[in-house]
Structure 1
Amino acid sequence: MKKLIRLFAMCMILILLLCSCGKNKGVDEQEEDLTPTSSLSIDEKAAAALSEKVPVILYFSDEQQTKLVKEIRYVDIAEAKKGAEVLASVMVKELIKGPKADKVKPLIPEGTNLRGPVKIEDRVATVDFTKEFVEKHPGGETLAELTIYSIVNTLTELKDIERVKIIINGKETKNFAGKIKLDTDFPRNDAVVDKEVGLAVPEEVGLTPVDGVNEYDPVGLSEYEGEDPLE
């Protein structure tokens, strides 16, 4: 009788061990199934090009011209390492070039140029544009406001800049688009940014998103928000 009891106990232990192994195997298989796959493909040439660049965030207009949207842009890391004033100047020049992503519109009037490097003093950046900035602007209070804050919000992405002053041909301009005075410096304004839209990434970067990826943030570039390219 005792032998039968022992045999029965051993069988039960063996059955429990087999069930436990099967359960662990199932968990392992589930974990393998949950392993995330890459959301983008990138060739070696594109990877090498990106390794020599640093991402910055620029602000342009949405299609309706009612809000600002963000666009990621890559600039040479060598330029970024030259200091905040050089990088700020590069960022303004990229704004002047206009957006490269779809469904995003430029705000700085065509023909506008930067007269000299952006100057930073006491965390205030001074941007000196040519007269086309004022003379060729289409006008309208909303559009004028978006134009100003596309520059301000772009530059205040840098930790060295808290406010931005815009001058024309080296002088203060009191009247811009009939509504806004440029005789003061402007702080950042996130109220005019469309928070429902992520970072619009131009295809020229060389990153190819795959199915199921957010069209506005295919490579998770929102992680760069709040980071300073100079760091």
Structure 2
Amino acid sequence: MKKNVFKIGFSILIIAMIITMIGCSKKPVETPAPPTGTGNSAEEGDIIVDPEPEGEVVRVTLYYVNEEYVTTGRDTLKKVLSLEKEVTVGEKSLEAVILAEIQKKPEGDKLSTALENIKILSVDTAEKIAYVNLAGDRLSGGSLQEDLVLHQIVYSLTELKDIDAVQLLVDGSKRETLMGHIFIEEPLKRQDLGY
């Protein structure tokens, strides 16, 4: 009888030690700070990406800068080209996910992004208008740079059936222009950008 009690106690002790060692060997997962707006910028710090993110997978059409147009300047070429992509929508809105995607450089040498260094503070949608709030400290460039930024944002967001126009804000306020060249005081529709 004492032998059985000893064996059971010893077995429980061994199991407890194994469970403790397994628990201690796992590294803690750092959780990123919550976003300040609905749109996130990649520069907020290192973000741990879940290899199997939870959320709904949605197919969207995104617009990127046509590198051939930039290098040749030919007016017969489109300034931005569309690219279909599947994105995962979870905690962030679809609009915020789209903006985060068009900030990333796409694969290949035919497309690029004009938004790589621009910080998107937030995006909200009301009455078929997307309100995109950008940080003013990184908004600089010539008229081509400004035009390409507007094309990428307006074309990508107006692909959504619930958005007809985009109102750009700088640090939470309406401005006359983003970079000094194109008026943005009113919401912009696709046709406002030329094609």
TM-score range with shorter-chain normalisation?
A: 0.5 to 0.7
Q: Which residue pairs with 2:121 in the alignment?
A: 115
Partner of 2:179: 177
TM-score, length-normalised on structure 1? Answer: 0.51
Look up the match of 2:85: 73
Using the TM superposition, give the Cα deviation of residue 123 of structure 1 relative to its aligned residue in structure 2, in angstroms.
0.4
Aligned partner of residue 88 in structure 1, secondary structure: helix
Divergent runs of 4+, >3 A: 189-193
Q: Matches of 1:139 and 1:179 in 2, distance apart?
A: 8
Larger Rg: 1
What amino acid is the match of 2:115? I
Name the SS for the 1:127 alignment partner: strand
* Equivalent position SS for 2:95: helix
Q: Percent identity?
A: 26
Check whether the contact 1:152–1:187 (CA below 8 A) recurs between aligned residues: yes
**1:83-98 paired onto structure 2 within 5 Å:** 86-98=93-105
- Distance 1:60-1:189 versus aligned 2 partners, 3 A rule: farther
Query: Aligned AA for 1:57?
Result: T
What amino acid is the match of 2:63? Y
Matched, 1:54 2:40: no
Structure showing greater relative contact order (alpha-carbon pairs closer than 8 Å, 6 or more residues apart): 1
C-alpha separation in 2, matches of 1:184 and 1:89: 21
Q: 1:87 corresponds to which letter in structure 2?
A: L
The answer to whether the 8 Å contact 1:58/1:154 transfers is yes
User: What SS does structure 2 have at the residue aligned with 1:189?
Assistant: helix
Structure 2: tracts of 5 or more residues without a match: 1-51, 74-78
Would you say the 8 A contact 1:68–1:192 is kept in 2?
no
Q: 1:190 to 1:73 in 2, by over 3 A?
A: farther
**TM-score, structure 2 as length reference:** 0.60
Look up the match of 1:130: 135
8 A Cα contact 1:57 1:157, kept in partner: yes
Name structure 1 gaps, 5 residues minimum: 1-47, 194-231
Aligned-pair CA distance for 1:99: 2.1
